[in-house]
Amino acid sequence: MVDLLLQPGKVGLSDWRRVARSAAGEPNLRLDPVARPGVEAAVALVAQIVAENRVAYGINTGFGKLAQTAIPTKKLAELQRNLVLSHAVGTGPLLADDAVRLILALKAASLARGHSGVRWLVIERLLDFANRGILPCIPAQGSVGASGDLAPLAHMTAALIGVGEVRVNGRLMPASQALAAAGLEPLELAPKEGLALLNGTQVSAALAMLGLFAAEDTFAAALVAGMLSLEAAKGSDAPFDPRIHVLRGQPGQSDTAALYRSLLQGSRIRESHLDCSRVQDPYSLRCQPQVMGAVLDLLRQAAAMLAREANAVTDNPLLFADSGEVISGGNFHAEPVAFAADILALALAETGAIAERRIALLTDPVLSGLPAFLVAEPGLNSGFMIAHVTAAALASENKQLAHPASVDSLPTSANQEDHVSMATHGARRLLAMAQNTSTIIGIELLAAAQGIEFHRPLHSSAPLEAVHGLIRAAVPAYERDRFFAPDIAAAGHLVRAGAFNRWSSELVPSMQDGYSQ
């Protein structure tokens, strides 16, 4: 079994992608033991505060609006347990296994930074759950993104103490039963531990990171789909001339234009219409570097924000063992995650929107020069007519979902928590948007592959012919009308599985080792 060593504060996005995309137990997650002395120093500070009967928020006080209430030492364990149980108020569908596994790993790495006052045993138990596939049942709804993801993290923590349900190999069972089967004892939380486990942005960050990874896979597929569509429509590669993009100065634009040039190099289809009479292509072909380059810049910005958040300490209060201080702050506020999720939503919506326009172009014989709806006998056959309608429906749905979540706020906890980020549902909607966009791109890939075949015996470039072959290995050519939904599902699956990532992996942040800006 391959191990992945988590170095708290230094884990790269490519490693987080591995955690999210791997099956239970692969890779086996381990904490860097170098972090242990810092963890134990913070635990010792908590013990000192309790022994000296010093008042410190969350250690021997109530929570939120009840912070002024002192709690007797003999009731501190009960305080932490009550916190977990009272905060486990989530609702809605359960988060998927990949999200829960990533949440467990993110929480462990954050606590291991040594500023939370949580025992090494507790942190390791989080990784025990992840490695053994004991995945707490975490309802998707109930967090406003500050003070941390309290409700969903309470459900995670409840499983550690043997309360609630978990999922093991897809089967629901009581947490107590799963612990017993694994030979693990339910934890009894020490002072500060319940609060540290519940406080933090790990749920919203995990969902946003899953949205990022899905957006990157969709982006990679959209790049090759756009070039395949260009070839099918016999579009020009002149708009990808590097001199144009140097004058603009936008890095994503220049980088995507360079990739487009490499994808088109050696195309016989392009050579066949170098002297055609068309002056300019429609925007959906001509402006691909400008649109997809801007998308790339947003992906990079979101990736940098989420890479920092994944390595951050986001609970409250924070312990500084070197000075003996406990400082209350607001690192639990998920505004950075909310903003990252909102810009990812824009990126996904625009990726799907421009792809839908290319599908419309390809199916229109006036614009494309191809048979109507990309079928040899239009009229008798409807071809891609309604596949385009599906793409339009999904693009429209994405427009509605793209409305920013971060501009909303509702005060909670008797107005103590009076401004919140709404990051959690802002991040959660990314998965639906990515599903929509990947389906749009899947439809475009099928349409463009069909269009390319009307130009035979001419061939495109080697990379684009490889893309065409990948599509055709999954979906045969559309010669006459047939039950079309399975074809679209298969093409969308290729996108979501990252089948087209190889052609643009150097552009995609989480595919670059150590990306942790």
Active site residues: 57
Q: Residue 212 in contact with residue 16, Cβ under 8 Å?
A: no
Q: How far is CA 487 from the centre of its chain?
A: 26
Which residue is listed with tokens 């579009």?
235
**What's the CA gap between 68 and 86, in Å, rounded?**
19
Give the torsion through C-alpha atoms of 515, 130, 431, 403, to 10 deg.
Answer: -80
Gyration radius of the chain's alpha carbons: 26
Q: Residue 203 in contact with residue 103, Cβ under 8 Å?
A: yes
Q: Residue 384 in contact with residue 359, Cβ under 8 Å?
A: yes
- Return the structure tokens found at 309: 């958040």
Which residue is listed with tokens 């500084």?
320
Q: Residue 106 in contact with residue 202, Cβ under 8 Å?
A: yes
**What's the CA gap between 294 and 288, in Å, rounded?**
10
Convert 27-50 into a string of H (helix), E (strand) and C (coil): CEEEECHHHHHHHHHHHHHHHHHH
Nearest CA to 232 out of 265, 280, 266, 264 is that of 264
